[in-house]
Chain A
Amino acid sequence: MLIKSIGPIMLGGRALPPRVASLIGLLAPALLAALVAINTFGSGQSLVLDERVLGVAAAGIAIWRRAPILLVVVIAAGVTAGARALL
């Protein structure tokens, strides 16, 4: 609980200096990309290639086709589940 609170409690409402702000602005793409990678290929401490990658690939196509995020997630789950059932 403590870790999550440090920022908002101390800095609430105030902006960070521009240099720090631009740094933080890059946090999102870096962390999101890392989260995509780890959740697609990670399994504990190993890297695994499994049906998730098919789901994520399908999600990529759906995103490219401008599908709403709801549908993207459902497609990913469906493709992965289907692949698991078939393979």
Chain B
Amino acid sequence: MAAGAEERGHRDGVRATLPLSIAVLGFGVSFGVLARAAGMGSVAPIVMSGTTFAGSAQFAATSVLSAGGSVATAVVAAVLLNARYAAIGVSVAPYLTGPWWSRFLHAQLLVDESWAISAEGGGRYNPRVLLGAGLTLYAAWVGGTTLGVLFGNVIGDPNRLGLDAAFPALFLGLLVPQLTSTRSKQAAVLGAVIAIALTPIAPPGVPIIAAGAACLLGWRR
């Protein structure tokens, strides 16, 4: 298959995520600090970031522990928040070819940001972009966690730099090109409304999954 001007490769994935990776680094640091404060020690947060690679799930689990919740509750929160990755993994599956270990690796690099960046509209995904984006974010996340665990107090608050607004801004920038049909716009509105409506009343992670239910609009065909 000849690579046309339109085809994106690994570097595009890396480039697309570089600004976000700085934000991710900052959050990795804050996760490392928070996890240590919650009594997770020095090694556990790094291992967690390395194997889970899912910021929202990790923060949720840690805040449950900080608030005095049980390990079981923290795990449930993390699993719920990660449940969407079952659907995300399925959505990317047709585009991941190659041996099982390669598919496994690509799947592990799936986070909201790398998934969204690798999307090419119409339900297609680019595995090379996923690899580039995912590895960059992974390095930033695990690296940030390590720094946070080691140097705790020195780094300032990522919110002071407005980094927490970087994520919704990125998701917005990735959402707009996806709005190619009336159906997709409806799904978007419904997804946002469901998520907002459920946030105050449902446990963390459920709003996102329910928003995914908005795609059931696709069934009426």
Contact A59/B183 with A9-B104, A44-B63, A81-B160 known, Cβ cut-off 8 Å: no
Shortest distance from the beta carbon of A27 to any chain B beta carbon, whole Å: 5
Do A70 and B116 touch (CB < 8 A)? no
Q: A84 to B159, Cβ gap below 8 A?
A: yes
Choose among A3, A5, A27, A55 the residue that contacts B165 (Cβ–Cβ < 8 A): A55
- A14 and B212 contact, CB distance less than 8 A: no
- Interface contact A31-B208, CB-CB below 8 Å: yes
Contacts of B191 in A (CB 8 A): 29-34, 37
Name A77's contact: one of B94, B161, B204 (CB within 8 Å). B161
Q: Of B82, B194, B215, which is within 8 A of A27 by CB?
A: B215
Q: How far is the CA of A3 from the CA of B81 in the complex (A)?
A: 11
Which of B19, B107, B160, B184 interacts with A8 by CB under 8 Å?
Answer: B107
Query: Are B89 and A25 in contact, CB atoms less than 8 angstroms apart?
Result: no
B101 to chain A, nearest CB (A): 10
Q: Which residues of A contact B221 (CB under 8 A)?
A: 19, 22
Number of interface residues of A (CB under 8 A): 65
| Interface set, chain B 150-181, CB cutoff 8 A to A | 159-176, 178-179
B44 near A: Cβ within 8 Å?
no
Q: Report whether over half of chain A's contact residues are helix, strand or loop; otherwise say mixed.
A: helix
Q: Report B57 CB to chain A, min CB distance, Å.
A: 10
Residues of A within 8 A of B165 (CB): 40, 51-52, 54-56, 59, 76-77, 79-80
Contact status A29-B184, CB under 8 Å? yes
What is the CA–CA distance of A28 and B90 in the complex, to the nearest angstrom?
12
Q: In the assembled complex, which residues on chain B have CB atoms less than 8 Å from the CB atom of A74?
A: 19
Whole-angstrom distance between the alpha carbons of A30 and B196 in the complex? 12
Which residues from 133 to 155 on chain B have a C-beta closer than 8 Å to any C-beta of chain A?
A: none
Residue in B112, B169, B178 whose beta carbon sits within 8 Å of that of A59 in the complex? B169
Q: For A38, give its contact among B98, B195, B214 (CB under 8 Å).
A: B195
Q: Is the CB of A30 within 8 A of B190?
A: yes
B19: A residues at CB distance < 8 A = 70, 73-74
B211, A33: Cβ atoms closer than 8 Å: yes
Q: Which of A9, A37, A47, A84 contacts B160 (CB 8 A)?
A: A84
Q: In the complex, which residues of chain B have a beta carbon less than 8 angstroms from the beta carbon of A8?
A: 89, 92-93, 96, 103-104, 106-107
Q: How far is the CB of A51 from chain B (nearest CB, A)?
A: 7
Would A34 and B110 be within 8 Å (CB), given that A25-B122, A77-B169 are in contact?
Answer: no
Given known pairs A16-B94, A32-B171, the reply for A9 and B194 (CB within 8 Å) is no
**10 A-B pairs whose Cβ atoms sit less than 8 Å apart in the complex:** A8-B103, A9-B100, A31-B212, A33-B187, A35-B116, A40-B165, A73-B173, A76-B169, A77-B161, A78-B162
